[in-house]
Structure 1
């Protein structure tokens, strides 16, 4: 009986060590992953020039992004490509319910330069270019959007769509959470092409984003 008990204990130890080995290999595979798909969401804030009022207003919004990071040699310099959609909102003034909604949608690419390769504490600079369409929609803000959703949607007034080339740069921090790479980025976008015939025009914005790799 004692011999059988010792054999069982030895077997359980081997199973335990095997589990540790499998988890370690999975962790190392994640660290050595070269090409990664990722999703990102961000908060954005900037200014918009409102030609009807001849003044600048604060615009706030959000962005979602789906992309692919390409680093075949797991090198310090690599690239990423993605498609995205931004949303921004600005009120004409505090006494009015009239608001402008901005939608920017397109594709982009960034060049990444990593200067710290620690897998759980990695930093990188990035800069890139986005090519997008920019559409402005006017409507009146409602206090109860759930009740008045249909009336609010019927009130949408679409304006012309304009092409925008957008420069993008910033800094990225990367770590590992639950065996997935997670990024936090802070950066800036500069709008390179003008919207001379538009009632509204953005020139720059700042953003804070979170990315999840899979």
Structure 2
């Protein structure tokens, strides 16, 4: 299942879900070449806190994506390059953050995928109070541990775990349909393009 999911772009999944689980477009990749897909491990942080991120890294399974609800705080980072190196070292596939990170250049250089609202110079606090495996909202979309995340240059989408098989089937079918449409529209250059436009534009 996961192997099939990793081959799908976010756009096909968005089409399959009707766009209802598209995360706020302001949560973007630090590097446009990144594409991740995997199981979510949710992290809920008090404002300006980040201590629970380390707990999540300790608990994470190979290929998990940490989905971090930082309440949209853009002043204090949930992680820097050292924390990212720990996550990568234990096999975490990436971070999706409703907040910001720091040391972005180092994260890009170590090729650790991060999708966030941006960057900051300010470190987060470690006074405690964060929670793991609780339902969170990230970029306006509800996420629970065990749901699936796909993220690439176009954005981030969430797939509820109970819908994963059906959504993958629909997304694959949509991709196949799109490829067939493109082949037909370009089969004979301008002639087939005009034929397509005449068919769809009334």
TM-score normalised by the shorter chain: which range applies? under 0.3
TM-score after normalising by structure 2:
0.21
Structure showing greater Rg: 1
Structure with greater helix share of residues: 2
Structure with greater strand share of residues: 1
TM-score after normalising by structure 1:
0.20
